[in-house]
Amino acid sequence: MCPKVARSDPGFPAVSLGFTRFQSVTGGLLEAIQSALTSFPTFGTIPNATGRNGKNNPNHSQKVPPMKLHAPLLSLAAAVVLSLTVSGCGASAAAQSGGASGSTETEVKELRYQGSANNVGLAELAADLGYLGDIKLNWVGNTISGPQDIQSAATNQTDFGGAFAGAVVKLIEAGAPVTAVVNYYGEDAKTFNGFYVKADSPIKSPRDLIGKKIAVNTLGAHSEAVINTYLSKNGLSQDEIKQVQLVVLAPNDTEEAVRRGQVDVGSLGGVLQDHAVATGGLRSLFNDYELLGSFAGGQYVLRNDFIEKNPNTARTFATGVAKAIKWETETPRDEVIARFKKIIDARGRNESTANLQYWKSPGVPDNGVIKDEDFSRWSAWLKSTGIVKNDLTPSKYYTNKFNDLASAKKG
């Protein structure tokens, strides 16, 4: 029997990441993988209540010790992922019958995906704008983290998923047969995630974070990579960084936890950040835009076998998402928000559109074109956590050949 996608697990099992750990008490994502790697903590992606990578995690957390990744377990995890993919669990009849020839008559025309409540993803926008042509989207539920989303795609529970670039690297390095085809979220001067302390906090500099607690919505992804990069760039050694504690906390609870002193620093984005700033009493310590400038944070991935059997669908999908990014970039903000509201109202999922007013920009540069630096900017963190052992080879994780706007840019 094929395992079912569970909605309560923050994502793919994590390796040793250097920080003192606190883990949410959660259920399993996929029984086969969970049983093979029960000793490892889980991780997810950066909190952003209105952003495309904003996935809530359970509210409760517990302290767990740092773990080290052992090769036999890693191989077992990869074997589980590969076996699920090869078996085609959860695939539609069209997906199973598609041939390597890429004939449009036999290619998949319906893509299963996970969404995000009260939010419009780029693929959903692309479909509404007509950029996906005759390809339909089949919503199977909402995801709660980027790594969970791409793991679902890797194990053929869905057809595409999106996550932080480091999570994509981790999944591929573990043996999952997926490839990134287009960027889907990023940071710029208008759309970014900040790290906040109380206004009267003694924390003024990176070194002041030693021994302190930082609330993030999940481990091993965007927030952790940004924090590690921030500390490393400001002269802290990895031994000193290990003394910084990451606390897994639901994004909706982060602001209050900072105000009550339950944590020293909280990562906030989107409407949660806007609300915290408007309320007052908090001070920004740093944000990822100040640290790194504009950058693409994560990618949509497709399974390699799906790409081989459905190259035209893969092209329509990647190019459609790229066109949706271009449309968001060039369209007046009020029109974008109105379109989002129309999409959410029409799909009838009992959602709220109140937070759409806080949307500011797509944040994704260059029409979703993936670059080596989208992965290499995290190379020091990826090495320090043991996700990669040698120099990073970004080209093994992505392709732009299905994004026609990438080709147009070269021309």
Q: DSSP string spanning 338-351?
A: HHHHHHHHHHTS--
pLDDT digits (tens, 9 = 90+) for 147-175: 889 999 999 999 999 999 999 999 999 99
Name the CATH topology of 44-55+68-186+295-410. Answer: D-Maltodextrin-Binding Protein; domain 2 (3.40.190)
Which of residues 86 and 196 earns the better pLDDT score?
196
d(CA 306, CA 47): 30
Residue 30's pLDDT band (cuts 50, 70, 90):
very low
The answer to whether the CB of 375 falls within 8 A of the CB of 229 is no
Amino acid at 43: F
Extended strands (E) in 105-177: 110-115, 136-142, 160-164
d(CA 122, CA 321): 6
Amino acid at 228: N
**pLDDT at position 283, please?**
97
Q: Give the mean model confidence (pLDDT) for residues 20-34.
A: 36
The answer to whether the CB of 339 falls within 8 A of the CB of 125 is yes
pLDDT digits (tens, 9 = 90+) for 293-313: 999 999 999 999 999 999 999
CA dihedral 84, 90, 91, 96 (to 10 degrees): 60
The answer to whether the CB of 40 falls within 8 A of the CB of 67 is yes
Residue 401's pLDDT band (cuts 50, 70, 90):
very high
Q: Give the mean model confidence (pLDDT) for residues 78-99.
A: 43
> Helices 146-154 & 165-173, crossing angle to 10 degrees?
40
Residue 196's pLDDT band (cuts 50, 70, 90):
very high
Q: For the whole model, what pTM was predicted? A: 0.76
Which of residues 183 and 1 earns the better pLDDT score?
183
List, in order, residues 6 or more apart from 154 with CB less than 8 Å away: 81, 85, 161, 171, 176, 177, 178, 301, 303
Q: Please provide the average confidence, as pLDDT, over all residues in the chain.
A: 80
Collapsing DSSP to helix, strand or coil, 232 comes out as helix
* Choice among 28-37, 132-141, 181-190 with the minimum mean pLDDT: 28-37
**pLDDT at position 17, please?**
33
Residue 46's pLDDT band (cuts 50, 70, 90):
very low
Work out the burial of residue 401: count CB atoms within 10 Å of its CB; fewer than 13 is exposed, 13-18 middle, 19 or more buried: middle
Q: Give the mean model confidence (pLDDT) for residues 202-212.
A: 97
In the predicted structure, residue 180 carries a pLDDT above the cut 80 = yes
Instruction: Spell out the domain ranges in the chain.
Output: 44-55+68-186+295-410
